[in-house]
Amino acid sequence: MQTELSNQLGVEHAVFGFTPFPAVAAAISRAGGFGVLGAVRYTAPDELKRDLDWIEAHVDGRPYGLDVVMPAKKVEGVTEADVEAMIPEAHRDFVRETLVKHGVPELAEGEASGWRITGWMEQVARTQLDVAFDYPIRLLANALGSPPADVVARAHDQGVLVAALAGSARHARKHKDAGIDVVVAQGYEAGGHTGEIASMVLTPEVVEAVDPLPVLAAGGIGSGQQVAAALALGAQGVWLGSVWLTTTEADLHSPALTRKLLAAGSGDTVRSRALTGKPARQLRTEWTDAWDDPDGPGTLPMPLQGLLVAEAVSRIQKYEVEPLLGTPVGQIVGRMNSERSVQAVFDDLTRGFERAVDRVNRIAGRSGQ
Ligand SMILES: Cc1cc2nc3c(=O)[nH]c(=O)nc-3n(C[C@H](O)[C@H](O)[C@H](O)COP(=O)(O)O)c2cc1C
């Protein structure tokens, strides 16, 4: 599974893995792919530094990258307290009532919510970058738009490739105009923030729109056959996020959530604004149903919704309140049916890829060549 881009980065497989877990990122790179650590949850620079040190110590010299979330629409000069003040009381009541209805216990006195919105604020993403540029990262990805010009220039000065996610050919063209090096075409099926165009349609559209820039196909990929399909559509690699959530290296802190993921089918996700205020694909739960119910108060825009639900999400996760317990995950969750090591995922990907290539060669009458 080698392409120009994987050769440029010096990796064996053109398989890029987004993950919030350092142990998974390092394992992906060790397995011959390219691990990308999601930085959005790091609000303290020291924690990011600690985890990048850990990756450095465990990646066996293989290349890896970092993913930040700098929204295209800036939230500048605004503190968390300012955002808090914008949240209507009726929405706070709705959160309280929903938690009471499901008997969700309170956090202990002084226990901070583990999930904050600040990683989406440009100034926080910039502190993450100040830390990350001291490490030999080879790729910097941005989730919600093109990174600002000075960030692209700084990355290029340090020899770091810049990638950005796109849910449409229009977004992809904007990235090209902004000097981005690699476009991640992320389809509707994907876990996390996602657009409305399915990967099968999106990938070739983006490949054509940004030619000759390399494109990574994302969304709905969990097998080697799907990798082969993405490469056949013109992608120079694949970008996988969901599949790592049920690897043995992942640290979801919740056996109940792992069980839910392993049991879920491909129809058990929903694209909902419940988590962040922007449409993000996640497990469908009674929590997403409550927010998506036309009789409810509806969700607030980003970043208000994220702040509104931050503590509630922490409580639901901590106490593993099963009907409400969810996570961003894509439709490929239907194929995530057993816990495997990251290496085992790679072994399955390479085997499936070879089978797909053999099959197409047979169909094309090229067997044995
Ligand atoms: C739990 C989870 C969290 C995610 N968080 C981010 C994020 O912070 N930044 C980002 O660029 N993409 C994020 N994504 C999207 C992935 O980068 C990736 O595009 C997507 O998972 C690919 O589709 P798949 O889920 O079908 O593999 C997230 C995905 C998941 C499953």
For ligand 1, whether the C-beta of 190 sits within 6 Å is yes
Q: What is the mean pLDDT of residues 126-155?
A: 94
For ligand 1, whether the C-beta of 239 sits within 6 Å is yes
Least confident span in 32-41, 85-94, 141-150, 184-193: 141-150
Domain of 350 in residue numbering reads as 4-106+117-367
Check residues 120 and 18 and name the one with the higher pLDDT.
18
Residue 112 placed within a domain: no
- Give CA–CA dist 167/214, Å, rounded: 15
| HEC-encoded secondary structure of 180-203 | CCEEEEECCCCCEECCCCCHHHHH
Residue owning the nearest CA to atom 20 of ligand 1: 241
Q: How large a percentage of the chain has pLDDT more than 90?
A: 85
Residue 109 has pLDDT above 80, yes or no: no
For ligand 1, whether the C-beta of 332 sits within 6 Å is yes
> pTM above 0.85?
yes
Give me the number of domains the chain comprises.
1
Residue 107 pLDDT grade (very low, low, confident, very high; cuts 50, 70, 90) = confident
For ligand 1, whether the C-beta of 144 sits within 6 Å is no
| pLDDT at position 84 | 85
Residue 70 pLDDT grade (very low, low, confident, very high; cuts 50, 70, 90) = confident
Residue 144 has pLDDT above 90, yes or no: no
Residue 266 has pLDDT above 60, yes or no: yes
Top mutation candidate among 15, 18, 186 for ligand 1, by most atoms within 8 Å of CB: 18
Q: What is the mean pLDDT of residues 134-154?
A: 94
Looking up residue 354, the CATH number of its domain turns out to be: 3.20.20.70
Residue 118 has pLDDT above 90, yes or no: no
- Give CA–CA dist 55/6, Å, rounded: 20
Least confident span in 41-50, 172-181, 329-338: 41-50
Nearest to 164 by CA among 327, 13, 333, 18: 18
Classify each residue of 339-356 as buried b or exposed e, where b means 16 or more C-beta atoms within 10 Å of its C-beta.
Answer: ebebbebbeebbebbeeb
Q: What residues contact 121, with CB distance under 8 A and at least 6 apart?
A: 75, 76, 78, 303
| pLDDT at position 35 | 98
| pLDDT at position 169 | 98
Start-end of H helices in the chain: 4-9, 22-30, 45-58, 80-85, 89-101, 122-132, 149-157, 169-177, 199-210, 224-232, 255-263, 286-292, 304-318, 342-363
Residue 113 pLDDT grade (very low, low, confident, very high; cuts 50, 70, 90) = low
| pLDDT at position 347 | 98
Residue 139 placed within a domain: yes
For ligand 1, whether the C-beta of 142 sits within 6 Å is no
Is residue 176 within 8 Å of 210, Cβ to Cβ? yes
Residue 322 placed within a domain: yes
| pLDDT at position 317 | 93
Residue 111 placed within a domain: no
With tokens 């490929």, the residue in question is 332
Residue type (1 letter), 162: V
For ligand 1, whether the C-beta of 128 sits within 6 Å is no
Residue type (1 letter), 156: H
**Which long-range contacts does 286-290 make (Cβ < 8 Å, 24+ apart)?**
286/102, 286/323, 286/324, 287/98, 287/316, 287/323, 287/324, 287/326, 288/326, 290/94, 290/98
Q: How large a percentage of the chain has pLDDT more than 70?
A: 95
Distance of CA 301 to the CA centre of its chain: 20
